[in-house]
Amino acid sequence: YIPGYDGYVNRDNARELDTQLRNKLALSLEANKTSLKNALNSLTKNKKLFESQDLDKLDKKNENVIAKLKSASRGYSGAFDIVKIKEEKLNQIYEFDNALISDIEIINNSFNEIESNASANTDIKTPVENASRALDNLISKFDQRELILKELN
């Protein structure tokens, strides 16, 4: 379920709903900061500070994704105006939004796994790589979604 999707169809407040979706995605990624802090504390406690460099890189990437989601244009001027948008394009946007929400869940699960593994003093390399790859995938999908919105202008 995508919050406000009906609003896209009705278009009355679609720009605001687009902003709300992006803010919801960014807020969900913000929660990963706590997981990384907890993982870093565990690494410090377990004398594995050399592994913290990977967490720093991942934290920066997570921050960049959050910033991109928050700073994207607030809907495109023509995209959400009261014009006839083909249902096919609306469905395409809906599918991208669904994919973004699914990707966020994958990312958050990877961050939780990093925290759990660090706490259990087990390998964090694989979940760090998974989280990094999932963040890259999210950005790629978000960029594709932005292109669709630009085409609607």
Confidence at 44, pLDDT banded by 50, 70, 90:
very high
Instruction: Name the nearest CA neighbour of 28 among 67, 60, 66, 68.
Output: 66
Confidence at 13, pLDDT banded by 50, 70, 90:
low
The pTM (predicted TM-score) of the whole model is: 0.81
Q: Are 80 and 11 within 8 A, CB to CB?
A: yes
- Number of H-type helices and E-type strands within the chain: 6, 0
Give mean pLDDT, residues 89-101: 81
Q: Are 20 and 97 within 8 A, CB to CB?
A: no
Reported in sequence order, the residue ranges of 37-144 that DSSP labels E, i.e. its strands, are: none
Give mean pLDDT, residues 108-132: 96
